[in-house]
């Protein structure tokens, strides 16, 4: 082999700049933390590196998609969009989590190192061009999230949720890895772009489809789709609230993006379409109906995130480029509204009433006491509900529309009906927050206010969701961009 093969060209380093920068920043966080224990600078370093990489990916958004590092990862175009969503979630999480963890006395430097490494893993997973990259990214992400879940280890249920997440996650990773092994055994390749040719030339037998099924199980677990959703409420409830928001958004975005790459590009849709459609239906129905019965708000949001996984899967099940683009658009909107909702919940824990055992009833009057949090929560929940002028509504249009076009009208109808059901539990939270009087209990709320940067992040979430609606040119640009994305996915090299 040619010697130059071993030296990646400079362009590859530029293309994977965000991953490299964040990995180095994570190591720097550790170094700073070694010498200045839990220094404030660690959070600033993490936030700054996420912001820089976010801007870098934004600049590469219009580039044609390409592969880098010996065809192991996709860069530019769609991959940049996915990376931006992940980085945006990470950036908002740093802004929201820093004051929250400080208040809990858990503002360890390691948190940011783990967060950055998790983001690197997610980016590798979401832009994987090879099953090996996919697996390495998935593991990097998962291990960091297991640790972050148990951050407040003395708290009731934190260890339980972390251990549950670890055991089930490790088990599902085993499924995924076994699936990869079988697929490799059947086709002799790990490269996603080779599958189409190999499948055409060889007779894909039980081994290949068995491997695909196991791979799907691994994916369904990571995106918490029914029937692999059991861990979700327990884990989201036990983890520190901003971290729950991060897990619910960034890790799902990357797993869905990898799913689009594997299913959309590498495998013929005839075989998996029905499976994905049925899982989508189950997720929407079970997620929304079980959420109705929840009194703990974090658990309710966890079940709502299961339902939202169902909506995204509806877009993927349509098996058309428009459906994939809709799923990616939905993930961007979903990320913003969920980070916002979990962020508001995190700061409501600070009024010395309920801590993080908030039930819906304990939120009474919080809207009037803390108008900023109340308004942000209202915007996020209306958007999660898919209320017309907000971004969540357009997200649903973009995932249900393609499903109808590819003959899955029943699935879209089920999606719309279950969305109507979800109104009951989203609006109940808002009703209690704004219209129920605050209880006159002896413990006066000692609210220190939302720190400025976190307030900016939360207000930014709400503004983002409104922006897409009330500025037509942004909407037009978004539609135009997402019209181009499907073409880009199909024509990836």
- Residues of this chain, 408-447, that bind other proteins according to CB under 8 A: none
> Helix 472-490 and helix 452-470: axis angle, to 10°?
80
* Least distance (Å) between residue 30 CB and other proteins: 6
* 147: contact with other proteins by CB under 8 A: no
> Helix 297-317 and helix 231-238: axis angle, to 10°?
130
Residues in Cβ contact with 319 at an 8 Å cutoff, skipping those fewer than 6 apart = 263, 264, 269, 273, 406
* 473: contact with other proteins by CB under 8 A: no
- Residues of this chain, 19-48, that bind other proteins according to CB under 8 A: 27, 30-31, 33-35
Stretch that binds other proteins, among 1-9, 229-237, 357-365, 415-423 (CB under 8 A): 1-9
145: its two tokens: 């999230």
* Least distance (Å) between residue 117 CB and other proteins: 11
* Least distance (Å) between residue 347 CB and other proteins: 30
* 159: contact with other proteins by CB under 8 A: no
With 0-12 / 13-18 / 19 or more C-beta atoms within 10 angstroms meaning exposed / middle / buried, residue 184 is middle
Between 37 and 295, whose beta carbon lies closer to other proteins? 37
Q: Closest Cα to residue 144, out of 26, 230, 32, 37?
A: 26
Between 7 and 473, whose beta carbon lies closer to other proteins? 7
* Least distance (Å) between residue 106 CB and other proteins: 16
Omega before 227 cis (within 30°)?
Answer: yes
| Pairwise CA distance, residues 481 & 437, whole Å | 45
Between 33 and 356, whose beta carbon lies closer to other proteins? 33
Stretch that binds other proteins, among 2-10, 68-76, 148-156, 352-360 (CB under 8 A): 2-10
Q: Hey, how many other C-beta atoms are within 10 angstroms of the C-beta on 86?
A: 34
* Least distance (Å) between residue 74 CB and other proteins: 23
* Least distance (Å) between residue 175 CB and other proteins: 23
* 480: contact with other proteins by CB under 8 A: no
Determine the straight-line distance between the first and last CA of the chain, rounded to whole angstroms: 23
| Pairwise CA distance, residues 489 & 258, whole Å | 12
Between 109 and 242, whose beta carbon lies closer to other proteins? 109
| Pairwise CA distance, residues 367 & 371, whole Å | 5
Between 30 and 168, whose beta carbon lies closer to other proteins? 30
Residues in the chain: 493
Between 30 and 136, whose beta carbon lies closer to other proteins? 30
Q: Are 89 and 220 in contact, with CB atoms under 8 Å apart?
A: no
138 CB-side CA count, 13 A: 28
* Least distance (Å) between residue 457 CB and other proteins: 29
Q: Where are the beta strands (DSSP E) in 329-418?
A: none
Between 28 and 262, whose beta carbon lies closer to other proteins? 28
Q: Are 47 and 31 in contact, with CB atoms under 8 Å apart?
A: no
* Least distance (Å) between residue 152 CB and other proteins: 18
| Pairwise CA distance, residues 313 & 225, whole Å | 9
* Least distance (Å) between residue 116 CB and other proteins: 14
* 170: contact with other proteins by CB under 8 A: no
Q: Are 128 and 134 in contact, with CB atoms under 8 Å apart?
A: yes
Between 24 and 487, whose beta carbon lies closer to other proteins? 24
Q: How many residues bind other proteins (CB under 8 A)?
A: 9
Stretch that binds other proteins, among 3-11, 141-149, 258-266, 319-327 (CB under 8 A): 3-11
**Helix (H, G, I), strand (E, B), or coil: what is residue 130?**
strand
* Least distance (Å) between residue 449 CB and other proteins: 34
List the one residue from 7, 10, 270, 473 that touches other proteins (CB under 8 A). 7
* 6: contact with other proteins by CB under 8 A: yes
22: its two tokens: 């964040």
Residues in Cβ contact with 28 at an 8 Å cutoff, skipping those fewer than 6 apart = 45
Between 6 and 473, whose beta carbon lies closer to other proteins? 6
Using CB under 8 A, list all residues that contact other proteins.
Answer: 3, 6-7, 27, 30-31, 33-35
């Amino acid at each position: 082999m040619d010697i130059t093969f071993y030296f990646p060209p400079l362009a590859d380093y530029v293309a994977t700049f965000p991953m490299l920068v964040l990995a180095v920043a994570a190591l720097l966080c550790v170094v700073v933390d070694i010498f200045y224990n839990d220094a404030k600078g660690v959070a600033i370093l993490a936030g700054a590196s996420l912001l820089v990489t976010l801007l870098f990916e934004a600049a590469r958004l219009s580039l044609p998609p390409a592969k880098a590092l010996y065809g192991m990862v996709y860069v530019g175009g769609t991959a940049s969009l996915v990376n931006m969503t992940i980085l945006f979630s990470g950036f908002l999480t740093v802004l929201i989590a820093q004051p929250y963890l400080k208040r809990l006395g858990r503002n360890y430097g390691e948190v940011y190192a783990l967060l950055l490494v998790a983001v690197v893993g997610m980016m590798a997973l979401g832009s994987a061009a090879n099953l090996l990259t996919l697996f390495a990214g998935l593991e990097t992400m998962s291990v960091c999230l297991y640790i972050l879940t148990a951050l407040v280890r003395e708290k009731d249920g934190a260890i339980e949720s972390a251990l549950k997440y670890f055991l089930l996650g490790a088990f599902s990773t085993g499924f995924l890895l076994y699936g990869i092994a079988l697929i490799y055994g059947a086709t002799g390749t790990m490269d996603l772009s080779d599958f189409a040719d190999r499948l055409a030339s060889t007779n894909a037998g039980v081994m290949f489809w068995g491997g695909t099924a196991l791979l799907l199980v691994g994916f369904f677990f990571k995106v918490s789709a029914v029937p692999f959703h059991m861990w979700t409420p327990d884990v989201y409830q036990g983890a520190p609230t901003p971290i729950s928001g991060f897990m619910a958004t960034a890790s799902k975005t990357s797993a869905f993006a990898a799913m689009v790459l594997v299913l959309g590009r590498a495998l013929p849709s005839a075989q998996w379409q029905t499976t994905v459609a049925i899982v989508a239906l189950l997720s929407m129905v079970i997620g929304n109906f079980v959420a109705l019965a929840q009194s703990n708000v974090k658990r309710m949001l966890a079940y709502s995130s299961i339902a939202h996984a169902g909506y995204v899967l509806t877009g993927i099940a349509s098996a058309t480029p428009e459906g994939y683009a809709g799923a990616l658009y939905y993930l961007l909107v979903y990320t913003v509204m969920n980070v916002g909702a979990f962020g508001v919940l995190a700061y409501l824990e600070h009024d010395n009433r309920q801590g993080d055992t908030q039930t819906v009833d304990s939120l009474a009057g919080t809207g009037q006491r803390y108008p900023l949090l109340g308004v942000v929560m209202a915007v996020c929940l209306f958007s999660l509900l898919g209320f017309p002028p907000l971004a969540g509504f357009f997200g649903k249009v973009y995932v249900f529309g393609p499903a109808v076009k590819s003959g899955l009208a029943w699935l879209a109808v089920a999606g719309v009906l279950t969305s109507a059901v979800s109104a009951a539990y989203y609006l109940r939270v808002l009703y209690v927050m704004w219209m129920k009087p605050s209880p006159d209990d002896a413990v006066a709320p000692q609210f220190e206010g939302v720190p400025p940067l976190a307030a900016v992040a939360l207000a930014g979430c709400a503004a983002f969701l409104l922006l897409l609606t009330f500025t037509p040119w942004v909407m037009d640009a978004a539609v135009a961009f997402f019209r181009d994305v499907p073409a880009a996915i199909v024509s990836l090299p």
